[in-house]
Structure 1
């Protein structure tokens, strides 16, 4: 990979699926990438290695709850853009660890913005917001001005971080914006997330007579998309003349049950293998949610037309290919 570096970007949470795909995209555009991780262990590079870009990313350890460490890194590298993808991102875990989730997801964002304000206020800042912030809604599709009614500690933390970004933009004139990404999947998704769990377990256990798929409430609906395309929207947001918040989504919702049925049908698995387990039920849950991606398409020029069943076809084949390697 011959790269002529033009800009420097920090990516926090680089070890996640979005961090890896965003790194690949920015490297192709000539960026120098500084990956920020809490612990610089080998597992931080696993997804980058999968995309064969680990050797092109500079990794730095930094606790985002320590503003002095952030200031040190900004002074060292003088980044042009910062993409904040770091978070405790599991809704289910947030019910078990509400204080830790809320503390990290809010204070980390505040520290990043304050460090930018103090040290390099011309940095362009992207915050990974979440559709979970909207929660209990009365009108669909969701747009950026839909009132928020978060239904989990995770959603509360993301809503607070979202408004912190808006406040720093309006109060201090920073180029800071929120990308409100709805569910987006890929082969690099962690197995704790629903779609990856379904695909990984199903492909792995297709011929196991004793296996069953245990899930919680699968009659809720979600707006699903494809991560490699969604990270393009992140980059486009920081290239716009003025900072603005955007909804990034497919624009339609489907039930979790329909995803399982589609995958089972593709792999010729009986629905008798599906088990509803109360252990996976959440105290509160969103019944249906989908967004309006029109502003992202018209103002940013973001192009997204994939049906999620087409995405599932891609992911099933990738899971099969990965299984054959083992």
Structure 2
């Protein structure tokens, strides 16, 4: 049975975990979904396929650094909402590629906003901001008004994009908002991220006597959450009467070491398998950060009460099930 599609949404960066879970959410809400990718390769659909929504997404190629391409695509589909999840999102990689990171993460946002302003000013834009923007903070928890002190090229690029969104909202009256998402994980998380690395390597190698887990600074603390719940907050932000910026987080932090210890204990792995490797230590790092999610709960009606160890239980089982399927194929 064909659904009656009530709205059209663009999702940039649709090949990532948030793009996949957001696609599933929007499809359930009867949206027409247009996925924007730089290159329309099969791997762009991999996470969508795992959630069973790849057939419901229309994929379009678009270079977000080329404003004429953005304008052409908006003219073609006239979307109601744009969720901008596209970014060079690795903090570590941003130290190796600062110019490329800063250029893409700023210019892509500027092009989307300018195209909206020119073509269809009633489009509602969600911009994926990052808790990394706040960096070295004097007081916790982080609120939307906490002064920013970014500590990486990635954080600098996200802070710049954040203020560009605020400026277009205030100067041109666009419905544009920033969702400042703290770390959020899922089975679909890309391999380069810390929690995914710990889970994947430990599940695959916990019976291997020669294996060790190599990590960098693990006594830093982070605020972790669950991606499927966090994309609900993205959607809620674009349904509000007035555009605003929100912190999306769990509201508490835990050490990276405690995550490793929890996963090792669940899989009966000796802590001796843990190795601190200087190659994984960043030039600068945040010691502790967590946010205040109460405005998102009170103003948006967002609900989130998960403890991250509950999330880890879910992820361990999903990782084990996936590995067992792959082993028997």
Task: Give the TM-score of the pair, scaled to structure 2.
Answer: 0.99
Large movers: runs of 4+ above 6 Å: none
Distance 1:207 1:72 in 2: 53
Q: 2:249 maps to what in 1?
A: 249
Q: 1:230 maps to what in 2?
A: 230
Distance 2:309 2:4 in 1: 37
Q: 2:211 maps to what in 1?
A: 211
SS at match of 2:145: coil
> Where in structure 2 are the equivalents of 1:99-138 lying within 5 Å?
99-138=99-138
Q: 1:258 maps to what in 2?
A: 258
Which deviations, in whole Å up to 9, do the C-alpha atoms of 1:173-209 show, x marking residues without a partner?
A: 0000000000000000001000000000000001111
Is the contact made by 1:3 and 1:28 (CA closer than 8 Å) also made in structure 2?
no
Q: 1:52 maps to what in 2?
A: 52
> Where in structure 2 are the equivalents of 1:26-65 lying within 5 Å?
26-65=26-65
SS at match of 1:11: strand
Q: Which structure 2 residue ranges, 5 or more long, are not aligned?
A: none
Which deviations, in whole Å up to 9, do the C-alpha atoms of 1:249-286 show, x marking residues without a partner?
A: 00000000000000000000000000000000000000
Q: CA deviation at 1:2?
A: 4.8
Is the contact made by 1:296 and 1:302 (CA closer than 8 Å) also made in structure 2?
yes
Distance 1:2 1:50 in 2: 22
Which deviations, in whole Å up to 9, do the C-alpha atoms of 1:122-156 show, x marking residues without a partner?
A: 00000000000000001000000000000000000
Q: 2:193 maps to what in 1?
A: 193
Q: 1:183 maps to what in 2?
A: 183
SS at match of 2:10: strand
Q: 2:295 maps to what in 1?
A: 295
Q: Which structure 1 residue ranges, 5 or more long, are not aligned?
A: none
Q: CA deviation at 1:3?
A: 2.6
Distance 2:52 2:305 in 1: 27
Q: 2:142 maps to what in 1?
A: 142
SS at match of 2:191: coil
Q: 2:314 maps to what in 1?
A: 314
SS at match of 1:36: strand
Distance 1:192 1:3 in 2: 37
Q: Give the number of equivalent residue pairs.
A: 326
Distance 2:208 2:23 in 1: 37
SS at match of 2:178: strand
Q: Establish whether residue 157 from structure 1 lines up as the match of residue 157 from structure 2.
A: yes
Q: CA deviation at 1:64?
A: 0.2
Q: CA deviation at 1:4?
A: 2.2
Distance 1:52 1:204 in 2: 25
